[in-house]
Structure 1
């Protein structure tokens, strides 16, 4: 059974081992964490000082065998506090394709809507990350028409913005009851 808990500093040691290729790193970090390879120090810097912040929530997903995934939920500075943004979404490569990503995002949405009280959650996914795109679509995210270009790995990557509204989340939840 997959569960979420707040990110702990020790988690960074494990999370940084999940990316062995430059392209994989940029798919989940969009270059915001700097150059490949990511270091424990840079991951900790990205999450440090946020423990008491009521607009930033780093999470670690885990099962009985250990860490499975990581993501953040945050309110963008320019947004109101009813809109959360998921970022840095990564799943342990040995667990990919097993449904853990979907479970982790579903637990994140449960936090966003049922505990935090958000009205919507958004995230970005690169066009070249089809597996993640279909994972997000399967839990109810829809394209909102926003696209952004990034220059990564010597190429232009298109980031597709996805969003799910509270009403969509609850309608999907009712289908599963």
Structure 2
């Protein structure tokens, strides 16, 4: 950061890209963007760069084999411009290692959130839960792994109801996120 006549001036605005795949409706897309934006805004004072969020709408990629969703989406996310890329899809993501659909995944600057398991929730609960889960997927995309504090959004969620106990990101995870986001935003 640079100082200019006593004021702190942030450097340019690196890109965080939110990719809306498939049939995610506009209301939900807007809510996810707002949740994402508000979270970044809440930690902005501690970031070296103010990230700019770009939103893209894209069709879901062709998935030839059940259980290959993470592999296919990872390849697609790697093609998207941005320092950190987070996608959202309605397609279920199946993890053969735990034999069930998962909420999402993330690592090395890219992540994906699936709304598939949330579709049984009421519209209000679905938005609330997905608004939290997108922050978790973003955390995973920035290499902040599951938290041991079950009240933290970054904790492991086996059931969608587990998100209801989360109120925010704990102090330790926030510090890790700030550190990792700053590293991703460097040239």
- TM-score, normalising length: structure 2: 0.28
Q: Which one has a bigger Cα radius of gyration?
A: 2
- TM-score, normalising length: structure 1: 0.29
